[in-house]
Amino acid sequence: MRLVIGNKRYSSWSLRPWLALAHHGLPFEEILIPLYRDGSKEAILRHSPSGKVPTLIDGGTTVWDSLAILEYLAERFPDLALWPRDAARRALARSIAAEIHSGFTALRNELPMDLAPPTPGQARSAAAEADIARVTAIWRQCREAAGAEGPFLFGAFGAADCMYAPVVIRLDRYRVPLDPACRAYADAVLGLPAMRRWVEAGLAEPWVLTF
């Protein structure tokens, strides 16, 4: 398999499927294309019909969009249980994954993905605060249901955690206060060896963007 991604420092969409592959030790070739540079779009189009990252190429199959790639991996490697095996939990996991995939515009705009710690104390709009409140409510709901089954949203690390991993980074880097349950969840995600590798590589990248 080959995974086409953008800058690790900034590409939240690229992180999601990369984390699923790397955490579970699946063999894949990483193709990193720096974004927002001359020729970036053309380089991506050589791999992806959408002209966007990420894109997974598995033999003759090409899958683009983070959530679509996670669904593909869940079908391709069912033993990984990227989605909960229980039907009700699986429905919840897919619902919250779709919610973060399509919403939270204010959070995205005001707390852009950046692995380097930004200037603290930046004001946030009421819309961004509402997004943060919704995210943390989702985390608490899932963690309360998971109980002692593991530190992630549904106990074991899965696709829903991949979808929320960039939000964990955002809330951590922008020093958003978290209650103990959400802080414990965030720390579990940030402590994953694969996540640490991503952050270390992203901080070492030579490309710096200004928002």
Residues 6+ apart with CB under 8 A from 187: none
Say how far apart CA 54 and CA 3 lie, in whole Å: 7
Q: What is the mean pLDDT of residues 44-50?
A: 95
More confident residue, 118 or 201: 201
pLDDT, one tens digit per residue, over 120-176 is 667 899 999 999 999 999 999 999 988 789 999 999 999 999 999 999 999 999 999
Is a pLDDT exceeding 90 seen at residue 209? Answer: no
pLDDT score at 120 = 67
Written as six digits, the tokens of 55 are 């894109």
Say how far apart CA 26 and CA 168 lie, in whole Å: 23
DSSP 172: H
Say how far apart CA 142 and CA 137 lie, in whole Å: 9
Q: What is the mean pLDDT of residues 51-77?
A: 97
Residue 108: count other Cβ atoms within 10 Å of its Cβ. Answer: 17
C-beta pairs of 120-123 under 8 Å, 24+ apart in sequence: 120/174, 120/175, 122/174
Say how far apart CA 170 and CA 161 lie, in whole Å: 14
Say how far apart CA 15 and CA 183 lie, in whole Å: 20
Say how far apart CA 145 and CA 92 lie, in whole Å: 11
- Model pTM? 0.96
Q: Are strands 55-58 and 2-5 parallel, antiparallel or unpaired?
A: antiparallel
DSSP SS3 for 187: helix
Question: Contact, 197 vs 22, CB < 8 A?
Answer: yes
High-pLDDT (> 90) share of the chain, %:
91
Say how far apart CA 69 and CA 54 lie, in whole Å: 8
